[in-house]
Copies of this chain bind each other. A is one copy, B any other.
């Protein structure tokens, strides 16, 4: 019956996501979003609602994709500890340094909006809880595989790993020297693991 959409919803969400990611929520205007999405005003509002709702949609999609990726890597990881290692070292893993400088959309958004926008803070808790659960699973596997002290509290380590990663993300955003960032990541990793000698 109705006229069909002329655009791919996912493409629009990704384009809009990049705009928010690069400029932040408040500094991104609806005109920016129309430009990067290529849509007219009516289409964008009709499909996603106002700026705030669109942003939350983008943020949730971003988080879900991250979590999916993390779960997938856990499923395919040779050892549980590999996921933990990648999770920390991955922050600095970009020869150009662009990714660390860009940071994480969720972390950036939380820092910008958590006070004024409870939705964003709640989304951050949801996402961080999920990440903690995945890391906990990975660490429990690592305990069974002999890579982590079996008497330690896996959930507690998981939270600490998450904190370290968030700190690395924050440091990366300052434009900190990439080698230094990698060194910090390795240090953070070394504390957690009695086992494999780095390098």
Residue of B27, B102, B160 near A188 (CB, 8 A) is: B160
In the complex, which of the residues A107, A116, A165, A174 has the most CB atoms of chain B within 10 Å of its own CB atom?
Answer: A174
Segment 110-166 of A: residues with Cβ below 8 Å from B: 110-116, 118, 121-122, 124-125, 128, 156-157, 159-160, 162-166
Nearest B residue to A192, CB-CB: B191
Which residues from B are CB-within-8-Å of A24? 24, 26, 112-113, 115-116
**CB atoms of A171 and B180 under 8 A apart:** no
Number of identical protomers: 2
Q: Which residues of B contact A173 (CB under 8 A)?
A: 110-111, 114, 121, 124
**Cα distance A83–B37 in the bound complex, in angstroms:** 50
Closest CB of chain B to A101's CB: distance in Å? 7
Question: Closest Cβ of chain B: how far from A102's Cβ, in Å?
Answer: 7
Q: How far is the CA of A107 from the CA of B188 in the complex (A)?
A: 20
User: Which 4 A-B pairs give the minimum distances between C-beta atoms?
Assistant: A111-B111, A163-B167, A167-B167, A26-B26
